[in-house]
Amino acid sequence: MSKTNSAVKKPSKMKSASKKKTLMLTTMVLPGAIWLLLLRYLPLGGIIMAFQDYKIYTKAPSFINNLKNSAFVGFKNFKFLFATSDTWVMVRNTLGYNLVFIVLGLVISVAFAVMLNEVTHKFAAKTYQTLMFFPYFMSWVVASYFLQAFLDPTRGLIPHMQSNMGVTVTDFYNNTKPWPFLLVLCNVWKNTGYSVVLYLSAITGIDASQYEAASIDGASKWQQVLYVTLPHLKTMIIILFIMNVGKIFNADFGLFWNVPLQSGPLYPVTQVIDTYVYRAMTTTQNYGMSTAAGLVQNIVGFVCIMTANTIVRKVDPDSSLF
Amino acid sequence: MAKSQAMGGRKRRINAVSVPTEIIIHIVMILFCLLCIVPFIFVIIISFTSEESIRALGYSFVPQSLSTAAYKVVFDLGEMLYRAYFNSFYITILGTVLSVLVCVLYSYALFRRDYKYRTFFTFFSFFTMLFGGGLVPTYIVCKQLLGLSDNYAALIVPLLVNPFNFIIMRTFFASSVPEELIEAASIDGSGEYNTLFRIIVPISKPGIATIALLNALAYWNEWYTAMLYVPNDNKHIPLQYLLMRLQRNVDNLKKMAAQMGAEASKMMKDMPSQSMRMALVVMVVIPIAFAYPFFQRYIIAGLTVGSVKG
């Protein structure tokens, strides 16, 4: 091959090589992209239902035909949604529980991670970590049985003990009072181990010399936690916080659905937006209104996460999520 | 600090907490660990409790008499139980393999700085974490347009992609794969797929294992997609959903067993229904409990790296 020839060919060769690379990498993205397109982007079109009196088009029932032939009703679904007293209850429950979960989860997990880091006996520390991570691997269905073992009205441990002691037996699955506490307990039970692992890994990443320096300067253990450990955890705490705040309108469906065994009398304290949407969709088949509820939930969630991220970016640009 | 540790466990670190404080820490930890593990132990005990003892004492940590009757009945469920077990394993294995494959492919392309559409596809997946159509449109699209109803696909496809895993995986690649390696491979004339599967995947095994285990756990514990897409189809339901149906009502089991052609009449006569449900719970948890030590090591290792900002 002569010199001039190769000099002419080279750029075009490189170009085709880079084209081929782009093509190959695009084929890699494709399976995931198609999934996202079909299962995440396509449903965005279904948001139209929130503004419709969605009805099955009996002549040729299919999603597209139903959409085409359902009448537009503007914001009627939203008006109905906010007119019901259920709405206030489920918004209160969703926000209230999530707020408690976020704050309590943060405090308990950080505290446990700090404590676990101080355990001198390494085997004990490992064992504690292993045991407290266990519930994270259980589904809410299984967890509901665990709780039933203690609360079942006729055979459960607690009602049985109550009747043995001659105290009035608590009918747990019909009594709303204990549930706010029980649901928080279940959430802490299941998720603490996971966050402890996260925080602990961040703590063990801190250079030991910093603690030694602090201790030589006369800092107490408590001061070391305040001035060395917590500042190091700041980024992680902020990231997890933003993510949780962004999801503050999304409840953990399994917890609120399975753990109270879908007991009707408990709805005032267990109904959250997610369970409401599911119930509205399956029992009353009110697709328009349940889509509207889901849409409000998503818009508010979107605004929440954007706001949280913007605030964080202003305060500490390195900690922001995007 | 390392020195004092090497000198033996008894010698305390210079900067350790005081002994009373450490004792308090141990007490708090032990109490919380008991809270985490005792419910499972309790359920195991109940599953081995005889029906008479349950009638007399209720669920108790110290039952009057033990019995394996519950497990006998569970195994007598025959076809229905095996089917649910098979479904759970099938969905978990196939789902994990597919979801890991999709995840590795997608996140590898996102990891490549020289990929032309990197920014677009990063946003394409990230956006879905911020905003979505909600349950109802997703349900209708899946069921009516995509045909995800009463089949295995309905239990596998909805969990196939998790954009968060893309971020974790991409971070893994970024932290374990030097970019020169890819350049070197491409100069040597290695194709993109060859580079990925022969060079990148072998050195990213810990990361892939983490994603695989997280996905396997999600598939094994799945009841939500079953509730949505195969609610009345006994042929495809996984264990978790079977269990969910028995939450309030053991009678469901009779109906279902009859539909599956089990010897219902024989089985249902003196069914130890209470301990039986708990036996079923134990059998759902057992595979996780066995895999758990292995699981948690990888997941902890994975979370430690993956938790880095995406």
pLDDT at A315: 76
pLDDT digits (tens, 9 = 90+) for A304-322: 888 888 887 887 777 676 7
Q: What percent of chain A has pLDDT over 70?
A: 95
The mean pLDDT value for B254-266 works out to 56
Q: So what's the pLDDT on residue B251?
A: 62
| B54 to chain A, closest Cα gap in Å | 7
Q: Average pLDDT in the A231-252 region?
A: 84
Distance (Å, whole) CA A26 – CA B137? 28
Query: Would the CB atoms of B146 and A38 count as touching at under 8 Å?
Result: yes
Mean pLDDT score across all residues of chain B: 85
How far is Cα B303 from Cα B111, in angstroms, rounded to an integer?
18
- Partner residue facing A302 (CB), from B131, B196, B222: B131
Mean pLDDT of B109-136: 93
Are the beta carbons of B9 and A120 separated by less than 8 Å? yes
Q: Strand A52-53 to strand A71-72: parallel, antiparallel, or no bridges (unpaired)?
A: antiparallel
Taking 60 as the threshold, does the pLDDT of residue B3 lie above it? Answer: no
For the segment A102-159, what is each residue's pLDDT rounded down to a tens digit?
999 999 999 999 999 989 888 999 999 999 999 999 999 999 999 999 999 888 999 9
User: How far apart (Å, rounded) are the C-alpha atoms in residues A273 and A294?
Assistant: 8
Cross-chain residue pair B117–A239, CB shorter than 8 Å: no
Nearest by CB: B138 against A43, A148, A287: A43
Min Cα distance B78 → chain A (Å) is: 21
Give per-residue pLDDT as tens, B264-306. 555 555 566 778 889 999 999 998 888 888 778 777 777 666 5
pLDDT given at position B10: 46
Suggest the residue from B4, B5, B28, B36 to mutate for an interface test with chain A (most A CBs closer than 10 A): B36
Chain B contact for A31, CB < 8 A? yes
Residue B291 has what pLDDT? 86
If one compares B122 and A247, the residue with the highest pLDDT of the two is: B122
ipTM: 0.88
What distance in Å separates residue A93's CA from the closest CA in chain B?
Answer: 19
Asked whether the beta carbons of residue B54 and residue A46 sit closer than 8 angstroms, the reply is no
At position A44, the amino acid (one-letter code) is L
Task: Assess contact for B306 and B210: CB atoms under 8 A.
Answer: yes
The pLDDT value recorded for residue B267 is: 52
- Whole-number Å distance between alpha carbons of B18 and B12: 10
| B280 within 8 A of B245, measured Cβ to Cβ | no
Q: Helices in chain A by DSSP H: which ranges? A: 3-36, 42-45, 63-69, 76-83, 85-118, 122-133, 140-151, 157-165, 179-204, 208-216, 221-224, 230-246, 253-258, 267-270, 273-282, 287-315
Lowest-confidence range among A7-16, A92-101, B98-107? A7-16
**CA–CA distance, B264 with B283 (Å, rounded to integer):** 21
- A18-52 per-position pLDDT tens digit: 888 899 999 999 999 999 999 999 999 999 999 99
What pLDDT sits at residue B249? 65
A298 in B contact zone (CB under 8 Å): yes
A268-280 tens-digit pLDDT: 999 999 999 999 8
Alpha carbon distance B274, B279 (integer Å): 9
**% residues pLDDT > 90 (chain B):** 46
Task: Please give the average per-residue pLDDT across B195-208, as a whole number.
Answer: 90
pTM: 0.88
